[in-house]
A and B are shown apart, each in its own frame.
Chain A
Amino acid sequence: MVELFRNIVNIISVAAIPLLIIVFLGWGFFKKVKVYEVFVEGAKDGFTVAVKIIPYLVAMLVAIGIFRASGAMDVVTTLLAPITNLIGMPAESLPMALMRPLSGSGSLGLMTEIMKVHGPDSFIGVLVSTMYGSSETTFYVLAVYFGAVGIKNFRHALPAGIIADIFGMLGAVFICRILFGV
């Protein structure tokens, strides 16, 4: 069942992009849109959008880079460990939960590292990979998406994003404890 589901999603993932391109462009051609001219017209914004993101992403990544490099993560982990112990979250997985919203490459590194130490099929290994799959890099997404349209005041997007992350991590702990629990 899981295997079938995975195969179907795999096929869709592989075929989706060429399929989308041909359906969209083909439909446009069929509707007598001047496909080439309109495509170029739309595509010329690609450069401006990408360049517009730069200052926002620099600001965000530099702050996160400094935070990570300083070893502040260890301090926060030590402070939070008593709380997360109460809900049965293994201490080894706490850095992962903290890193996930901050840095994609950082959490990828942590996941690889933890699996090397504890094994991918251990409870901790399954838990951290579930955590990795349970959320996106919130700070990166916000910087890129808001940066592209020059939004500096994020309003409630950041707290809501962090609440989503917290519940994603708690959900991961909950389901892993039920299914593979110790």
Chain B
Amino acid sequence: MLNYVWIGLIAIGILVAVGNDINDEVQNTYRNGVPLEATLTLQPVPSAMYSTWKGELTIPAVAFNQFYGIYSQKTDVHQQVVVMTSNKGVTTLSMLVGDSTPEFWKKMADNAGQKDQLSAEVRSLNFSNDHATAQASFILERVNYVKVRAVTKAALDYANTAVTISLGLIGIMALWLGVMKVAEEAGLLRILTKLLTPLTRRLFPEVPPDHPAVGAMIMNVAANMLGLNNAATPLGLKAMEELNKLNPKVGTATNAMCTFLVINTAGLTFIPATAIAVRAAAGSGDPGIIIGTSIFGATCATIAGLIAVKVLQRLPWYKVEVEKSASGDTEVHNG
């Protein structure tokens, strides 16, 4: 299943990206080659002495939206620009992308040559009598293959992110693996494990109740519930390592692993700290109002996940894979 999901995500992603770009090209979403009209306010007043001036482009929101066929621009466009005239008499505008830049142009700048600039070739510039403003007609630089470029960038960026995340785990991994090793040697995990045996025996019938894996799993679930993400992952990985010692077939998940991971992916926690922090930052009157609802949602997820995992492990599709290779093994896999 994972193979299908994995190739599916990649193939659908690339196909949709290509499709979107073809659509953009046909509809000319970015109005490549179409002149746009704007009022240019210049400061200081240009004279023959200058070849570079600064100014501000003004386009009414209605005109901007109409030009691009969008609805998202709510306020009139006021864009800082640098106007340059080359020796050959070609005048170009450089829009410096900043906070006041329309979102649509920001998106275009991301896909143009330079990230923080969007350049345009001026076709006509009609100055007013006092030379302070001008009516400009200009063509923005070509923008195309936006989604395919984005896909390329995402592939490279995410590969990097994966390494950053993994390497970031080294320190806390080492800390918790060390602490857990001491707890194990001292017999502390065994005590903890005994307390919850009635529950863990039902959830993980394949795992001996006093196995170190049980202790690590309990610690991981407890850390998750308290929202201690830093501790939960190393403890969970420790649990996986212990569970893998009971694995008859290297490289294939056991029932206990699947059950344990479903509990983890359901993510039951008493305080959804991240969501609360974001709500508070967004100016909520009661950021914590979602505590109860989140616990309810995650409980639904946990119960549904546990039922699913216990039902699915009995399906021939998932069961056969283990039994085939574990021939002659003492491990029982259909709890």
Interface residues of A (CB under 8 A from B): 2, 5-6, 9-10, 12-13, 16-17, 20-21, 23-25, 27-28, 30-31, 33, 35, 38-47, 49-51, 53-54, 57-72, 75, 101, 108, 111-112, 115-116, 119-121, 125-126, 129-138, 141-142, 144-146, 148-161, 163-172, 174-176, 179
Contact = CB atoms under 8 A, between A and B. Distances in A.
Contact of B182 (A17, A24, A164): A24
A43 B178 contact: yes
B282 A46 contact: no
Contacts of A133: 269, 272, 274-275, 290-291, 293-294, 297-298
Nearest to A131: B297
19 contacts: A9-B227, A13-B227, A33-B182, A35-B182, A43-B177, A46-B170, A47-B170, A53-B166, A66-B13, A67-B9, A69-B150, A133-B269, A141-B261, A154-B258, A156-B313, A157-B258, A157-B262, A159-B312, A171-B300
A148 B299 CA distance: 27
A150 B250 contact: yes
B284 A69 contact: no
B270 interface: yes
- By secondary structure, the A interface counts as helix
A154 B317 CA distance: 13
B253 A130 contact: no
Contacts of B171: 46
Contacts of B26: none
A148 B297 contact: no
Contacts of A154: 1-2, 253, 258
Nearest to B171: A46
Task: Give the interface residue-count category, chain B.
Answer: 35 or more
A170 to B, nearest CB: 7
A33 to B, nearest CB: 5
| Interface of B, helix, strand, loop or mixed by DSSP | helix
Interface of B: 1-2, 5-6, 9-10, 12-17, 20, 147, 150-151, 153-155, 157-159, 161-163, 165-167, 169-175, 177-183, 185-188, 223, 226-228, 230-231, 233-234, 236-237, 240-241, 243-244, 247, 250-253, 257-258, 261-262, 264-267, 269-276, 278-279, 281-294, 296-305, 308-309, 312-313, 315, 318, 321-322
Given A61-B159, A129-B290, A27 B188 contact: yes
A75 B19 CA distance: 11
Nearest to B230: A17
A167 B253 contact: no
